[in-house]
Amino acid sequence: MRENNTESTRRHRSQAEAERLVRDFEQSGLSRKAFCTARGVALHTLDYYRHRDRVRRQVGGAERLVPVELVDPTPAGGGLRVELANGRRVVVESGFDASHLKRLLAILEG
């Protein structure tokens, strides 16, 4: 009876091991192919881990909460003003067009 070599060579990595492999690749300066050859990792496996890591970072960034300080709870004129930690400001005057704000936010979020 013939053994299935594919099953015997598969390696199941923990989440931490997969993340470490992606970090090692990013810091290696090697091409994907050269890195995988040196580490004995299938190219599609590295690509899968990189994709999963990218998705995790995007989702993690979207869920991150940041502190907010309410400077003036009752601004004159009913407008809104948001000041970000990096110094950028968004000011929305009363009577603004919501569709314009939505388009602006979509552009800013990239």
> Is 70 inside a domain boundary?
no
Model confidence at 98: pLDDT above 50: yes
> Is 68 inside a domain boundary?
no
Output 88 or 26, whichever has higher pLDDT: 26
Asked if 94 and 79 touch (Cβ cutoff 8 Å), the reply is: yes
> Is 69 inside a domain boundary?
no
Do 80 and 59 share a structural domain?
no
Query: Which DSSP state fits 77?
Result: G
Q: What percent of the chain has pLDDT above 70? A: 75
44-63 average pLDDT score: 81
Do 29 and 50 share a structural domain?
yes
Is the model's pTM score more than 0.85? Answer: no
Do 83 and 33 share a structural domain?
no
Asked if 91 and 81 touch (Cβ cutoff 8 Å), the reply is: yes
> Is 41 inside a domain boundary?
yes
pLDDT at 33: 95
Do 11 and 34 share a structural domain?
yes
Longest dimension (CA), the chain: 83
Q: Which residue has the tokens 């300080």?
A: 69
1 band by pLDDT with thresholds 50, 70 and 90: very low
Model confidence at 56: pLDDT above 90: no
pLDDT at 5: 46
Model confidence at 94: pLDDT above 60: yes
Number of independent structural domains in the chain: 2
Do 36 and 58 share a structural domain?
yes
State the residue range of the domain holding 89.
76-109
Phi, psi of 108 (to 5 degrees): -65, -35
Output 95 or 5, whichever has higher pLDDT: 95
Please give the structure tokens belonging to residue 95: 């009577």
Do 52 and 17 share a structural domain?
yes
